[in-house]
Structure formats: structure tokens, C-alpha cells
Amino acid sequence: MTKIHSHTLPIGADIVDAFCLMQKGFTDQFVYYDKQRACRYMGLGRCIALPTLDGAESELEGPVEQPPVYFSFNRFDAENPAPADELFEAFPRLKFMLPEIVLIENERGTLLQVNSLGPVYPGRIARFMRQALAAPPRRRETVPYRLEPDSREAWRDAVGAGLAAIEAGRVDKVVLSRRQRLVATRPFSSKDLLVNLIDGPARGTVLLYRYADVFFCGCTPELLVRKRGAELESMCLAGTCPAGGSEDERARLAAELMADPKNRAEHDYVVRFIREVFRRTCHGVDVPAEPGILPLTHVQHLCTPARARLLEGVDLWSMMEDLHPTPAVAGTPVGEAKMLLREVEAYNRGFFAGACGYVDGAGDGEFSVALRTGVFDGEIGWVYAGCGIVEGSVADDEYDEIGMKLMTILSAFSGEDEADAAETLADSLSDQRVDEGAGR
């Protein structure tokens, strides 16, 4: 039995400003920050790591009864024997990580939580409170970089292998990814990218996991699963088109996406999968027959919400494992698609497209799919994005779609406003296309 002492109290501070000031003293950092709603958890330090929460007991202290918040960052295919890049290899394989400090913004308000394996020392609480209240306003910083081009020919070969597997009846869909190496022209920190993702134009949930001098971060649009009591939510997200340069263009592209048979088929695979998983472990399942549109900064997606009520005895972790990976990030059938990916992709994805989130001591929490993400060491990094391949997919079109998706993680390097940032990213991608042309 592991006993956690968790002291939580309200604070009148901006949790991002407080995090930026306090993070200098902690090498372990964890963030799950929904930009659209008050579901924001920012952890510093590591009190304890646990393989399961079954034996964890919470002693709640302080004026607010907030259960301790555990973070969990999980790989896309943890058993894949292919090598991950050297940065992902540096992360330990841990399931539940409880920070020493968690800065919280949720339905209870803005909170400071201090966790300990013994009674929480009052002096620590007072010190952390002083630091949070003294935090200056954060500032965005631009980090210049160059993006090394990957091979279009290698991508065409990968798509060709995927299409051949589809034609042979092995899979109906496979989700392939690209990664590109990024080199910054000056050192940068996890805080620099975090602030740009939170305050910049990216939409979705900001993720960060820092371990020592390496960190994984991004801003994902895709919820995997959310649990509040017996209430469960998920999201079917697949099918993509550009965002458009005006409202009229956005609406036209969205209408074309809704009517496109290829994208609708790709989306339906995800809908059927999530509906089937929910029906096995839930009741009151509600998955609409028709999708809507999720507009993002650079792209738009077909999106179908899914809701249900959990059967007694089913927990958030088991639902996460049942749902992940969905056909939106692997393909369908999922098992055969994962095996095909091991054959076709030359690298292990690490946390990219993995299930990342938090669960509290009461068993509530949520996980998102780690899309539009990258892994960095403060000088170089790798950025990742993917797309679904189905019958009729065209390799060059899918390559360009991934380029649009990469703009989200690349926006983490821009401290400029949205218009200037878009121009900078366009210039960067234009330079990359010139480099590709010279290399062919």
C-alpha cells in the first residue's frame, strides 16, 4: 500500500506564469493543458512513480479536497522492436507519475497541490505559494530553426506498400507518418515552446513531458477518452482538408470534405471502432450517424463525438487501453495495421500518436492522442505528423497534408502573432521545398 499525502489550496495566480517561474528548479515536468476549457494540470518534480494505482491511498489535506493528479505518457507501440530516435530512447518506461507540485485550473478554481510520501511540510506550501504569487507575466520568444527535408521518394514507397496491402485485402486503412529533424540556431527550453503553444494560434490540448534535458511536447486536437464518474466521452477524428484563407473558403472546403467519399470512408472506420469498444464496456452509447467539422488553425477534420456511461467495475485506464490505438492513428484492422507499420516505417514512433494524459486519485481524468508533436533536447529535435491511407490515396497529396499538420508543432518556435507566424512558417516550408527539389 502506497500512501500519498496531498495538500491542495486555492491560489490567486496565473498557473502558466507560476509554472514558468517555478520550473527552473525541477527537471521532471508534466503538462496537460486544454486551451478551450478549464482542464489544466501542470506538474513539477516527481514525488513517486507507480506501475498501478490499485494500491495507492490518498490522504487529502488542505482546504480543497482535490485528489492527487498522476500524469501518464504512453508510447504508440511500446513493443515495437524498431529503434526510436535517440531522444525518445532517453525517457524511462513509467506508467503513473505523481509530481511534487501540481498547478491546477479546473471546475474547483485555480489551485496549488503539493504531494508527499509523508505529511506535507507547511514551509514547502508557503514557499511555493510565494513563488506562484510573485511570478512575472510570461513572454513569448521566437526560436529560429531549420527543418531538414525528408525524402518524397521514400514516402511514395511507403504509401505504395500501404496501398498494396489494401489491394491484397490485408488492411482497409493504414496511417503512415513522417518525421523531420529540426535544428535550432540558438538554444531553447521546454518553457519557450510551452508558452508559444499555449499563447499562440494552435488549437487543442497542449502536452509536455520533460525528463532531465529532453522533452516531448505538442498541441493535439484529438481526445481519446474522458471520464467523470460514470460519464465517458471520446472523439472520432479522421478526414482532413485545409483550413482555408477566408471564412468563405473555409466553409467551401468543409462542405467538400463532408461530401468526399474517401475521407468519409476513412472517418467511418474510426466511428465503427469506437462505437464497438463502447458497446462492450458501457451502456447508453451515443455516437451520431453523421460527423461534424472540427476547424483548426491550419486544417479541418471530420469529427464525431462519442458518449456513454461506464459499467460498474470498468476504469479509465482499461478504457484507454481498449481504445488505443484507434484506426485514426494506426489503421484497420488495428492489429494488422500496427504490424504493417512495423514493416513499413523505419522508426519507432515513441510518444507520437501515443495516449497521454492524467488520472486523479478518484479515478477520473482524460487521455488525448499525442498528435502534432515533437521531441527535443534544447538544440535539435524531431517533429512528427501522419495521415490515413485508404484505397484511392495519392502519395504526394498525403505528403502535403502532413506538411500542413506539421505547422502546428512548428508554431511552437514562433513568438509572433498569428499572421506573422503563418508567414514565417510558409517561408520555412517554401525553403524546404527548394531543398527537396535540389535533392531529387
Q: What is the CA radius of gyration of the chain?
A: 21
Residue 156: pLDDT over 70: yes
Instruction: Give the pLDDT confidence of 305-337 residue by residue, as tens digits.
Output: 999 999 999 999 999 999 999 999 999 999 999
Percent of the chain with pLDDT strictly greater than 70 = 95
Tell me what the mean pLDDT of segment 104-108 comes to.
95
Model pTM score: 0.93
Tell me what the mean pLDDT of segment 207-221 comes to.
97
Please tell me the predicted confidence (pLDDT) of residue 383.
Answer: 97
Residue 92: pLDDT over 60: yes
Instruction: Give the pLDDT confidence of 7-48 residue by residue, as tens digits.
Output: 999 999 999 999 999 999 899 999 999 999 999 999 999 999
Residue 225: pLDDT over 90: yes
- Those residues with Cβ within 8 angstroms of residue 214's Cβ, 6 or more apart along the chain or in another chain: 87, 90, 91, 375, 376, 377
Question: CA–CA separation, 382 vs 375, rounded Å?
Answer: 5
Residue 438: pLDDT over 80: no
Question: CA–CA separation, 109 vs 187, rounded Å?
Answer: 35
- Whether the CA torsion 309, 312, 316, 320 is positive or negative: it is negative
3-state per-residue secondary structure call for 229-291 = CCEEEEEEEEEEEECCCCHHHHHHHHHHHHHCHHHHHHHHHHHHHHHHHHHHHEEEEECCCCC
Residue 251: pLDDT over 60: yes
User: From start to end of 392-439, where are the E strands?
Assistant: none
Instruction: Give the pLDDT confidence of 258-281 residue by residue, as tens digits.
Output: 999 989 999 999 999 999 999 999
Residue 424: pLDDT over 60: no
Question: CA–CA separation, 166 vs 341, rounded Å?
Answer: 13
Please tell me the predicted confidence (pLDDT) of residue 85.
Answer: 82
Residue 423: pLDDT over 60: no
User: Which pLDDT band holds residue 416 (cuts at 50, 70, 90)?
Assistant: confident
Q: What domains, with CATH codes, occur in the chain?
A: 2-222+328-417 (3.60.120.10)
Question: CA–CA separation, 228 vs 205, rounded Å?
Answer: 18
Residue whose C-alpha is closest to residue 299's, from 222, 204, 405: 405
Output the CA–CA distances (angstroms, integers) from residue 279 to 210, 308, 333, in the order listed.
Answer: 36, 9, 18
CA angle 126, 127, 128 (to 5 degrees): 95
Residue whose C-alpha is closest to residue 178's, from 159, 165, 160: 159
Averaged pLDDT of the chain = 93
Please tell me the predicted confidence (pLDDT) of residue 439.
Answer: 42
